[in-house]
Amino acid sequence: MVILGIDPGTAVTGYGVVRTVNNAMSWMDAGVIVTDTSMPLCRRLLLIYDGIREKIAEYNPQRVSVEEAFYGKNVHTTLVLGHARGVAMLAAAQHGCEVSEYSPREIKKSVTGNGNATKEQVEYMVKMLLRSPVEKMRQDAYDALAVAVCDFYNMGRAALINKK
Protein backbone atom coordinates (compact mmCIF):
# COMPACT_ATOMS: atom_id res chain seq x y z
CA MET A 1 0.00 0.00 0.00
CA VAL A 2 1.12 3.56 -0.69
CA ILE A 3 0.34 6.41 1.73
CA LEU A 4 0.67 10.09 0.81
CA GLY A 5 1.10 12.34 3.84
CA ILE A 6 0.38 16.05 3.52
CA ASP A 7 1.46 18.94 5.74
CA PRO A 8 -0.78 21.69 4.33
CA GLY A 9 0.13 25.35 4.08
CA THR A 10 -0.68 28.12 1.65
CA ALA A 11 2.96 29.22 1.29
CA VAL A 12 4.55 25.77 1.59
CA THR A 13 2.75 22.43 1.49
CA GLY A 14 4.82 19.40 2.36
CA TYR A 15 4.22 15.96 0.89
CA GLY A 16 5.68 12.61 1.83
CA VAL A 17 5.10 9.23 0.21
CA VAL A 18 5.70 5.89 1.94
CA ARG A 19 5.18 2.33 0.78
CA THR A 20 3.99 -0.26 3.25
CA VAL A 21 4.40 -4.00 2.94
CA ASN A 22 3.08 -6.08 5.84
CA ASN A 23 4.52 -4.41 8.94
CA ALA A 24 7.28 -2.47 7.19
CA MET A 25 7.43 1.05 5.75
CA SER A 26 9.83 2.48 3.24
CA TRP A 27 10.53 5.98 1.95
CA MET A 28 9.44 6.70 -1.63
CA ASP A 29 9.47 10.48 -2.04
CA ALA A 30 9.12 13.74 -0.17
CA GLY A 31 9.24 17.41 -0.97
CA VAL A 32 7.33 20.65 -0.98
CA ILE A 33 4.94 22.62 -3.13
CA VAL A 34 5.89 26.29 -2.81
CA THR A 35 3.64 29.17 -3.79
CA ASP A 36 4.41 32.85 -4.22
CA THR A 37 2.90 34.67 -1.26
CA SER A 38 2.25 37.73 -3.41
CA MET A 39 -0.19 35.77 -5.59
CA PRO A 40 -3.93 35.83 -4.88
CA LEU A 41 -5.04 33.02 -2.59
CA CYS A 42 -7.15 31.35 -5.29
CA ARG A 43 -4.08 31.00 -7.58
CA ARG A 44 -1.98 29.61 -4.73
CA LEU A 45 -4.68 27.06 -3.91
CA LEU A 46 -4.76 25.99 -7.55
CA LEU A 47 -0.98 25.42 -7.49
CA ILE A 48 -1.31 23.32 -4.33
CA TYR A 49 -4.19 21.34 -5.81
CA ASP A 50 -2.32 20.71 -9.07
CA GLY A 51 0.86 19.73 -7.19
CA ILE A 52 -0.97 17.22 -5.03
CA ARG A 53 -2.82 15.79 -8.03
CA GLU A 54 0.56 15.33 -9.76
CA LYS A 55 1.89 13.33 -6.81
CA ILE A 56 -1.30 11.27 -6.65
CA ALA A 57 -1.01 10.50 -10.37
CA GLU A 58 2.68 9.63 -9.98
CA TYR A 59 2.39 7.33 -6.95
CA ASN A 60 -1.26 6.19 -7.00
CA PRO A 61 -1.69 6.11 -3.20
CA GLN A 62 -4.52 4.17 -1.65
CA ARG A 63 -4.52 6.46 1.38
CA VAL A 64 -3.92 10.17 1.86
CA SER A 65 -3.38 11.52 5.36
CA VAL A 66 -3.59 15.22 6.14
CA GLU A 67 -2.46 17.14 9.20
CA GLU A 68 -5.34 18.91 10.93
CA ALA A 69 -5.26 22.67 11.41
CA PHE A 70 -3.55 23.93 14.55
CA TYR A 71 -5.92 26.28 16.32
CA GLY A 72 -3.65 29.07 17.48
CA LYS A 73 -4.32 32.65 18.44
CA ASN A 74 -4.62 33.88 14.86
CA VAL A 75 -8.04 32.83 13.57
CA HIS A 76 -7.34 34.19 10.07
CA THR A 77 -4.27 31.98 9.69
CA THR A 78 -6.27 28.95 10.81
CA LEU A 79 -9.02 29.71 8.27
CA VAL A 80 -6.55 30.15 5.40
CA LEU A 81 -4.81 26.90 6.36
CA GLY A 82 -8.22 25.24 6.12
CA HIS A 83 -8.33 26.19 2.43
CA ALA A 84 -5.06 24.34 1.76
CA ARG A 85 -6.37 21.32 3.68
CA GLY A 86 -9.56 21.45 1.64
CA VAL A 87 -7.87 21.36 -1.76
CA ALA A 88 -5.63 18.51 -0.59
CA MET A 89 -8.63 16.50 0.57
CA LEU A 90 -10.52 17.31 -2.65
CA ALA A 91 -7.65 16.06 -4.82
CA ALA A 92 -7.48 12.85 -2.78
CA ALA A 93 -11.24 12.28 -2.86
CA GLN A 94 -11.39 12.82 -6.62
CA HIS A 95 -8.81 10.06 -7.04
CA GLY A 96 -10.78 7.71 -4.79
CA CYS A 97 -8.23 7.66 -1.98
CA GLU A 98 -9.22 6.98 1.59
CA VAL A 99 -8.55 10.21 3.50
CA SER A 100 -7.57 10.45 7.16
CA GLU A 101 -6.76 13.42 9.38
CA TYR A 102 -4.49 13.66 12.40
CA SER A 103 -3.73 16.40 14.89
CA PRO A 104 -0.16 17.65 15.26
CA ARG A 105 -0.06 16.08 18.73
CA GLU A 106 -1.22 12.66 17.41
CA ILE A 107 1.43 12.77 14.69
CA LYS A 108 4.25 13.64 17.10
CA LYS A 109 3.15 10.95 19.55
CA SER A 110 2.95 8.29 16.82
CA VAL A 111 6.39 9.09 15.44
CA THR A 112 8.37 9.93 18.60
CA GLY A 113 6.28 8.61 21.48
CA ASN A 114 5.90 12.18 22.77
CA GLY A 115 3.00 14.44 21.77
CA ASN A 116 5.10 17.49 22.68
CA ALA A 117 8.14 16.53 20.58
CA THR A 118 10.10 19.24 18.79
CA LYS A 119 10.33 19.47 15.01
CA GLU A 120 13.94 18.30 15.27
CA GLN A 121 12.89 15.18 17.18
CA VAL A 122 10.22 14.40 14.57
CA GLU A 123 12.76 14.86 11.76
CA TYR A 124 15.26 12.58 13.50
CA MET A 125 12.70 9.80 14.02
CA VAL A 126 11.41 10.05 10.44
CA LYS A 127 14.98 9.65 9.19
CA MET A 128 15.51 6.63 11.45
CA LEU A 129 12.18 4.94 10.67
CA LEU A 130 12.30 5.42 6.91
CA ARG A 131 16.07 5.38 6.29
CA SER A 132 15.66 8.45 4.12
CA PRO A 133 18.11 8.53 1.21
CA VAL A 134 17.98 12.34 1.30
CA GLU A 135 20.30 14.00 3.81
CA LYS A 136 18.41 17.29 4.17
CA MET A 137 14.94 18.42 3.15
CA ARG A 138 12.66 21.24 4.19
CA GLN A 139 10.94 20.70 7.52
CA ASP A 140 7.55 20.60 5.80
CA ALA A 141 8.61 17.46 3.88
CA TYR A 142 9.67 15.70 7.10
CA ASP A 143 6.39 16.75 8.69
CA ALA A 144 4.45 15.28 5.75
CA LEU A 145 6.37 12.00 6.04
CA ALA A 146 5.50 12.00 9.74
CA VAL A 147 1.81 12.31 8.83
CA ALA A 148 2.13 9.25 6.57
CA VAL A 149 3.97 7.32 9.30
CA CYS A 150 1.23 8.23 11.79
CA ASP A 151 -1.39 6.92 9.36
CA PHE A 152 0.53 3.65 8.95
CA TYR A 153 0.67 3.13 12.72
CA ASN A 154 -3.00 4.03 13.14
CA MET A 155 -4.02 1.66 10.32
CA GLY A 156 -2.28 -1.16 12.18
CA ARG A 157 -4.05 -0.28 15.41
CA ALA A 158 -7.41 -0.15 13.64
CA ALA A 159 -6.78 -3.58 12.06
CA LEU A 160 -5.97 -5.06 15.47
CA ILE A 161 -9.12 -3.56 17.00
CA ASN A 162 -11.28 -4.85 14.14
CA LYS A 163 -9.91 -8.41 14.56
CA LYS A 164 -11.14 -8.59 18.16
Neighbouring-strand partners of residue 36: none
User: Is 72 strand, coil or helix?
Assistant: coil
The end-to-end CA distance of the chain, in Å, is: 23
Q: So which residues are the catalytic ones?
A: 7, 67, 140
Q: Which residues contact 42 (CB under 8 A, 6 or more apart)?
A: none
Q: Which residues contact 61 (CB under 8 A, 6 or more apart)?
A: 2, 3, 4, 17, 97
